Amino acid sequence: MSHLLGFVLGSSCLLYIGSPSGFGLGSNWLLYIGVPLIIGIWAQIRVKSAFGRWSKVRASGNITGAECAREILQAAQIRDVEVVETNDFLGDHYDPTKKQLHLSSNVYNTPSVAALGIAAHESGHAIQHARAYAPLKARMAIVPVTMIASQMLPFIIIGGLFFGITGLITLGIWCYLILLVFQLITLPVEFDASRRAKIILREMGIIQPGEEAAGVNRVLNAAALTYIAAFIAALGNLLWLMSIRDRR
Ligand SMILES: [Zn+2]
């Protein structure tokens, strides 16, 4: 889980507001900004509804997300990762720098199908880290530069589009390129964590085949969709900024 999609959609809105009038609503706009925005909102709705539905279904294993994560880490012989509770809704993530597995309260304290799926997915990231999974290492390596790019981006868009500073638009293009590479590397990391989660939950008997397993799939597949949507949105934003620069 991450708030990556929200960030990208926010910058899409900025791009929309700041787009120069005249060609602001042409066919490129629809393709680069409009369609990705709709896909992103749809993905966001799907992940919330999948979580909402399956967080009400109690898993027969009757352990909370926190207990599930600790059992998985123990079985994987990972002893240096701490499982902690966070208040941030759907803010579940694994922090490799602190070796902390953050689970939102709804996941941490709940024995639901959704909670176990998410707890197992985040544990999957901890396992990737412990096993030195290459895409995770690559992702960690570009986190600092991605943070800088994403913090600068809103100001760059505002300066570039609202005040018509072409140099800032070029800088914005570079920022989106960095974000795009980051999101591209994120895809295998996320898919692999969910793949591991599904196998582990089944093998450890935490989730039963049938309805429970289907619920886990729904939640994790919806989450995967948000990463694909974030990638598409960032690609659209990049192409849109490039087309704006070309027309100046
Ligand atoms: Zn993840």
Strand arrangement, sheet containing 100-104: 82-86, 100-104, 93-95
More confident position, 17 or 127: 127
Please state, in angstroms and rounded to a whole number, the distance separating the CA atoms of residues 47 and 222. Answer: 5
More confident site: 247 or 91: 91
**Amino acid at residue number 211:** E
Kindly name the residue from 67, 82, 85, 122 that is annotated as catalytic: 122
Catalytic site includes residue 67: no
Phi, psi of 63 (to 5 degrees): -120, 155
pLDDT of amino acid 204: 97
pLDDT in tens, 188-227: 999 999 999 999 999 999 999 999 999 999 999 999 999 9
| Ligand 1: centre distance to CA 126 (Å) | 10
pLDDT at 16: 67
Q: What per-residue confidence (pLDDT) applies to 88? A: 86
Question: Does the pLDDT of residue 25 top 70, yes or no?
Answer: no
**How remote is the CA of residue 122 from the centroid of ligand 1, in Å?**
6
Q: Rounded to whole angstroms, how far apart are CA atoms 109 and 173? A: 42
> What is the value of pTM for the model shown?
0.89
Q: For residue 164, report the distance from its CA to the centre of ligand 1, in Å.
A: 38
| Orientation angle between helical segments 113-130 and 134-157, nearest 10 degrees | 110
If one compares 2 and 176, the residue with the highest pLDDT of the two is 176
Q: With H, G, I as helix, E, B as strand and everything else as coil, classify residue 208.
A: coil
CA 146 to ligand 1 centroid distance, Å: 17
Mean pLDDT of the chain: 90
Contact 187, 227 (CB under 8 A): yes
Confidence at residue 15, expressed as pLDDT on a 0 to 100 scale: 72
Residues 52-71: tens digit of each pLDDT: 999 999 999 999 999 999 99
Q: Is the pLDDT of residue 148 over 70?
A: yes
Residues 6+ apart with CB under 8 A from 151: none
Decide: 183 and 231 in contact? Cβ < 8 Å: yes
pLDDT at 18 over 60: yes
- Beta pairing partners, 100: 82, 95
Query: Do strands 100-104 and 93-95 pair parallel, antiparallel, or not at all (unpaired)?
Result: antiparallel
What φ, ψ does residue 206 adopt, rounded to 5°? -75, -35
Give the SS3 label for residue 135.
helix
